[in-house]
Amino acid sequence: MENSVRLDLDIKSFKYPDNTVALSDIQISMKSGEFTGLLGSNGSGKTTLLKVMDGLLKDFDGSVLLDGTEIRRLSPKEIYRKIGLIFQNPDEQLFAPTVFEDVAFGPLNMGFSEAETSERVLGALRDVDMEHYAQKSIHNLSFGQKKRICIAGLLAMGHEILLMDEPTAGLDPMGEYRMMRLLTELNRKKGVTIVMATHSVDLVPVFLDNLYILSRGKIVRGGSPEEVFTAPKDMEEVKLRLPHIAEMIYKLKHEDKIGFGKIPLTVGEARREILKIMEDVKED
Ligand X SMILES: Nc1ncnc2c1ncn2[C@@H]1O[C@H](COP(=O)(O)OP(=O)(O)OP(=O)(O)O)[C@@H](O)[C@H]1O
Tell me the closest approach of the beta carbon of residue 110 to ligand X, in angstroms: 28
Query: Which residue lies nearer to ligand X by CB, 128 or 240?
Result: 240
Tell me the closest approach of the beta carbon of residue 166 to ligand X, in angstroms: 7
Tell me the closest approach of the beta carbon of residue 139 to ligand X, in angstroms: 24
Q: Choose among ligand X, Mg ion, none what residue 140 binds, the Cβ cut-off being 5 to 8 Å by kind.
A: none
Tell me the closest approach of the beta carbon of residue 62 to ligand X, in angstroms: 16
- Rounded CA-CA distance 37/194 in Å is 8
103: left (phi over 0), alpha (psi -120 to 50) or beta: alpha
Q: Does 47 bind Mg ion (CB under 5 A)?
A: yes
What single string gives the DSSP state of each residue in 220-249?
Answer: EEEESHHHH---HHHHHHTT----HHHHHH
Please check whether residue 3 is in contact with residue 31, taking contact to mean a CB–CB distance below 8 angstroms. yes
Instruction: Spell out the residues 6+ positions from residue 212 whose beta carbon is closer than 8 angstroms to its own.
Output: 28, 36, 37, 38, 39, 219, 221, 222, 228
Tell me the closest approach of the beta carbon of residue 70 to ligand X, in angstroms: 22
Q: Does 88 bind Mg ion (CB under 5 A)?
A: yes
Selected range binding Mg ion among 47-55, 58-66, 168-176, 213-221, rule: CB under 5 A = 47-55
- Site residues, ligand X (CB under 6 A): 16, 18, 20, 22, 40, 42-48, 88, 199
Query: Which residue lies nearer to Mg ion by CB, 49 or 124?
Result: 49
Q: Is 4 exposed, middle or buried (0-12, 13-18, 19+ CB in 10 A)?
A: exposed
Please check whether residue 255 is in contact with residue 232, taking contact to mean a CB–CB distance below 8 angstroms. no
Q: Choose among Mg ion, ligand X, none what residue 43 binds, the Cβ cut-off being 5 to 8 Å by kind.
A: ligand X
Query: Which residue lies nearer to ligand X by CB, 44 or 117?
Result: 44
